[in-house]
Amino acid sequence: MAKQGRARKQKRDDNPLSSARLSGDKCKASSLWFRKSGAGYHLFLSFFAEQPGAVCNEGDPQQVGNDGDVASVARKGKGMSRAAKRRRKHKDPCNVDVGRSAHEDGQGAPDMTELDQSHPLVQAFESKANEWTRLRGFVEALSRPLPLTIRLRDVDATERMNELKQKLGDFSQLIGPVQYDKSIYQSRPGCSLCKSSLGKISPGLKEVIVSGSMDGLLARQELASMLPVLALSHVGALKAGAKVLDLCSSPGSKTLQALEVVCSSNRRGKVIANDINASRLESLREAVIRSGVDEELTDRVTFTNFDASEFPSPKSGKLFDCIICDVPCSGDGTIRKDKHILPMWTPATSNSLHPLQLDILRRALELVRVGGSVSYSTCSLNPIEDESVVSAALANDDRYELLDWPSELLPGFVTRRGISDWKVAFYNKDSFEGDDSDDFGQLSFYDSHIKAMENGETGSCETLWPTGKVPLKRCMRLWPQDQDTGGFFVAIIRRKR
């Protein structure tokens, strides 16, 4: 007996999860259990499988070509005759009907691209592939590293810029301008060039990019992250001479992008870069200096350190022309570069961020001048952090107008419309903490806040549910599988009065 007891104790000591449970460290036990069970990957997929239109279309494993929710559609044959579309539909392996018939036959998704079987998200997906068929393209994109993207700055340095373009041209097998914007360069499909592999794959290209960045000629910025500033410029709110507030600004990619616009055409606008985190704000200050952008321009940035939801009104009484509201979020759109998000994924992260995101957006709406615009963005595709926030902020306030996403902004760039209906999920992990099996249970979905409260979901709040009062289709969703990007959400809101 004593021998057996010792053996059991030894086994427990070797098992960090058992040790954490025995020592009463609930937090560590829960984190270890999540990592061991792979629960986060399964919960993530089961959540998005219940949200049609959020990351893919219902019954459509390939997404592209399905009318109804594509805002910008160049890849799906815009301008083609019906007959040409029909011909293309039969040829195109991305054809919606091919996927549907495969699904109906019970064959699972058509074999489109090899999935990386070693990726834990793919493993979770394969365990229920028949149920989650339509998520396949989404999963496939998320399991690959994010391509490297750079943005050539709009600077008055034609000669140096031409030189840079020439140097980049020497690496044209690895990187090149995207079809919808010649100033955005992305690594070529299939060459596996990403931020972390750049130095290994091509030290020469790395040198060109680093020196171009130090000279202020280019920015290493993700494509998705460029969209709010591009859209604000497109609708005319962000322009030369404008006064801009970037409420959650660090690490500063949008601050610098906006600065280029407000200081163009020999005009000198102003950007206030705010962040609640003092050390992140300090890194931003250094990044602005390191950016290589002219001091004359960077002097136009003022740094502030407030909670964005309580950002003070300007003493002058003059409100902002334009506000960038790139709020803190769960980051599920960044999982191609951040491996730490999915293993711990539960709906509680988004549910608990939602009230802060809403407070920040509401404050932005108070601080923008009549005729000015606010961009609300997240690098999450979870409707709870996206449409749900926009819907709650605008539902009973007719001073603001949600603008239609400008589909002509980047010709040929595929964007998806916002969704008007979503489900609110909860997950009670405590009951699984003593369980060594891989049975991590299920998400609970409720129709209303009242029902959630009746079932003891203390993390619920009323604004998580759709209001039905705002034309949310006008928002923009960026699906990773459309253009090999991260996931992103943007809404542009104009103050009418």
Query: What is the rounded distance in angstroms from the CA atom of residue 419 to the CA atom of residue 56?
Result: 11
Tokens 């998704």, residue? Answer: 109
Q: How many CB atoms lie within 10 A of CB 365?
A: 19
Binding mask 340-359 for ligand SAM (x = CB under 6 A): ----------------x---
The string of DSSP letters for 85-154 reads HHHHHHH-TT-HHHHHHHHHTT--S---S---TTSHHHHHHHHTTTTTGGGHHHHHHHTSPPPPEEEE--
Among 307, 338, 433, 484, binds ligand SAM (CB under 6 A): 307
Q: Which of residues 165-194 bind ligand SAM (CB under 6 A)?
A: none
Please tell me what DSSP assigns to residue 319.
-
Structure tokens belonging to residue 10: 């030894």
Could you tell me if 404 and 255 are in contact, meaning their C-beta atoms sit under 8 angstroms apart?
A: no
* One-letter identity of residue 344: M
Tokens of 424: 């609110």
Preceding amide of 251 cis, omega within 30: yes
Rg (Cα) of the chain, in Å, rounded?
24
In 3-state terms, what secondary structure has residue 226? helix
Count of residues touching ligand SAM (by CB under 6 A): 18
CB of 311 to ligand SAM, least distance (A): 8
One character per residue 265-304, x = contact with ligand SAM (rule: CB under 6 A): ----------xxx--x------------------------
Least Cβ distance, residue 212 to ligand SAM (angstroms)? 19
CB atoms within 10 A of CB 133: 22
- Give Dmax (Cα) for the chain: 86
Q: Does the annotation place 299 within a ligand binding site?
A: no
- Site residues for ligand SAM, window 71-100 (CB under 6 A)? none
- For the CA atoms of 47, 48, 52, 53, the dihedral, rounded to the nearest 10 degrees, stands at 140
Smallest gap from residue 247 Cβ to ligand SAM (A): 6
Between 168 and 353, CB nearer to ligand SAM? 353
Please say which residue, 229 or 470, places its beta carbon nearer to ligand SAM.
229
Residue of 32, 308, 389, 409 interacting with ligand SAM (CB under 6 A): 308
Closest distance between ligand SAM and the C-beta of residue 419, in Å? 21
Q: Which of 248, 263, 329, 379 is catalytic?
A: 379
Annotated binding residue at 307?
A: yes
Min CB(326)–ligand SAM separation in Å: 4
Q: Which residue, among 454, 453, 471, 470, has the nearest Cα to 462 in the 3D structure?
A: 453
Nearer to ligand SAM, 150 or 470 (CB): 150
String of DSSP letters for 147-207: PPEEEE---S-HHHHHHHHHHHHTTTTTEEEETTEEEEEEEPTTS---TTTHHHH-HHHHH
* E strands present in 257-347: 270-274, 301-304, 320-326
Nearest residue (CB) to ligand SAM, 49 versus 392: 392
Q: How far is the CB of 249 from ligand SAM (least distance, A)?
A: 5
Binding mask 220-259 for ligand SAM (x = CB under 6 A): -----x----------------------xxxxxxx-----
CB of 324 to ligand SAM, least distance (A): 7
Place of tokens 């998705």: 224
Whole-number Å distance between alpha carbons of 181 and 173: 18
**Per-residue binder mask for ligand SAM (CB under 6 A), 131-170, x = binder:** ----------------------------------------
Q: How far is the CB of 250 from ligand SAM (least distance, A)?
A: 4
- By beta-carbon proximity to ligand SAM, the closer residue of 230 and 308 is 308
CB of 359 to ligand SAM, least distance (A): 8
Specify the residue, 63 or 378, whose C-beta has the smaller distance to ligand SAM. 378
DSSP 8-state secondary structure symbol assigned to residue 71: E
Stretch that binds ligand SAM, among 63-71, 156-164, 306-314, 456-464 (CB under 6 A): 306-314
Binding-residue pattern over the window 356 to 395 for ligand SAM, x denoting contact by CB under 6 A: x---------------------------------------
Can residue 326 be called a binding residue for ligand SAM (CB under 6 A)? yes
Using an 8 Å Cβ cutoff, are 71 and 417 in contact? yes
First to last CA, the chain: 80
Contact map string, positions 397 to 426, toward ligand SAM, x by CB under 6 A: ------------------------------
Active-site annotation holds for 461: no
Report the residue number, 245 or 414, with the smaller CB distance to ligand SAM. 245
Of the pair 32, 293, the CB lying nearest ligand SAM is at 293
Compare residues 64 and 262 and give the one whose CB is closer to ligand SAM.
262
**What are the b/e assignments for 86-100, b being 16+ CB within 10 Å?**
eeeeeebebbbebbb
Determine whether the annotation assigns residue 338 to a binding site.
Answer: no
Helices 253-262, 278-290: crossing angle, 10 deg rounding: 50
Residue whose tokens read 């979503």: 422
- List active site positions: 379
Annotated binding site for S-adenosyl-L-methionine: 275, 307, 326
Q: Which residues bind ligand SAM (CB under 6 A)?
A: 225, 248-254, 275-277, 280, 307-309, 326, 328, 356
Annotated binding site: 275, 307, 326
